[in-house]
Structure 1
């Protein structure tokens, strides 16, 4: 029986357990006929950015969207903002009073704590990307112990009292993603960027961007048309393509 609320053109694969939904997406990508959500009731070896482990207690949300995108890799990577907006939409729908914000480059915050993370991975040949996998993890019922991340984790249940099954959140997320993807496909990145900025955490405040080469401290000014972080510093504007962003402790 078809779900009338499930977006047209998107398939879904529901699994009991998997090592990582992103890893499963990469394994299956070549055999999928179109955009496909892969959801697991339990993920035992989830991972985050830069190879960090992603703890996934039972009852939390783990899913990945597998796409066959068109465009240059830089343009394809902008779907991290599409996914973040869609996740914000979905969480706002199930918890309307939640204090949600988006943290560059790929986190969703709840009351200042990390509620969710997004990880993009893909396969490519030369300059052409064959498949993109967008992995999303949400702390629905339990916040894992704090690891190396810049912000302490929180859970939706712990902060708001809202309880929702992971498959129910998937339905909200899939519909929200389809809407935001349609905007990206027809109107480009600018409306996505503007909507993301309207939900950005610490805009206009001082933050620290840390890379493998060092760190830059400055005022979070904007995100540019390429999705890069722009900081205003005493030495001028710094444009940062990739980094971990840290907030001032006293401002938390």
Structure 2
């Protein structure tokens, strides 16, 4: 089995229905070690809330499957670690000022989405699904998208990008395990988009507007409005006042 410099196993497929679905199948059978499941093409890729994730040949689609350490109620903080790892990986190709992080789990390049993250708790295991627009930017979505190819000519291959992402993820994961969420939180906030500005947050049963003040110690978004402060653990964020 192929391994990355960290020792993490990597499985590279020409095509899968979904790297996240394959991770679920592996978790059902049991896995002995962390591994990346990477597909050059997906026929049924999906993101948050089951939404279809469009992927073209050359884009990165991968899922990291492993048994995390630490309390299960803190596992949502790993989305911030992955977002930072993605930003640091993209830093190797672009100026870091071009890359910003959008709560809860999007990576933005010059104000447009270029990567998304999906955490799925599989009991003993955690599956972290990641999609990065390296060569293709989907059209017709409710938000702007972009791709790395618009900024550089020599776009990394999915497996080489995985190696960089793996390196940065485990370095940040060790910080989280040793020192807790505090340093991860501060690093994320340094790269966050929208802090101190008016945002709208759409929840399953309501829509809220207010000032994005930051994160609490769990990673929840702090929203201040005329009604006071509210901690939001999940939702869709839109910038500026909404009609």
Q: TM-score, normalised by structure 2?
A: 0.93
Q: Are residue 136 (structure 1) and residue 130 (structure 2) matched?
A: yes
Residue-by-residue CA offset, 1:40-88 (whole Å, 9 max, x unaligned): 1111211010111100111111011001123333211211111111111
Ranges in structure 1 where 5+ consecutive residues have no aligned partner: 125-129
Larger deviation, residues 91-100 vs 214-223: 91-100
Q: Distance in 2 between matches of 1:71 and 1:207?
A: 32
Q: Relative to structure 1, is the Cα distance of residues 249 and 46 closer, same or farther in structure 2, using a 3 angstrom cutoff?
A: farther
Alpha-carbon distance, 1:202 to partner: 1.0
Match for residue 168 of structure 1?
160
Ranges in structure 2 where 5+ consecutive residues have no aligned partner: none
Q: Secondary structure at the match of 1:94?
A: coil
Q: Relative to structure 1, is the Cα distance of residues 200 and 6 closer, same or farther in structure 2, using a 3 angstrom cutoff?
A: same
Match for residue 153 of structure 1?
145
Q: Are residue 110 (structure 1) and residue 109 (structure 2) matched?
A: yes
| 1:68-83 equivalent positions in 2, closer than 5 A | 68-83=67-82
Alpha-carbon distance, 1:158 to partner: 1.8
Q: Distance in 2 between matches of 1:249 and 1:56?
A: 31
The question of whether the paired residues in 2 share the 8 Å contact of 1:40 and 1:62 is answered with yes
The question of whether the paired residues in 1 share the 8 Å contact of 2:2 and 2:9 is answered with no
Q: Distance in 2 between matches of 1:95 and 1:21?
A: 27
Q: Distance in 2 between matches of 1:54 and 1:2?
A: 27
Match for residue 237 of structure 1?
229
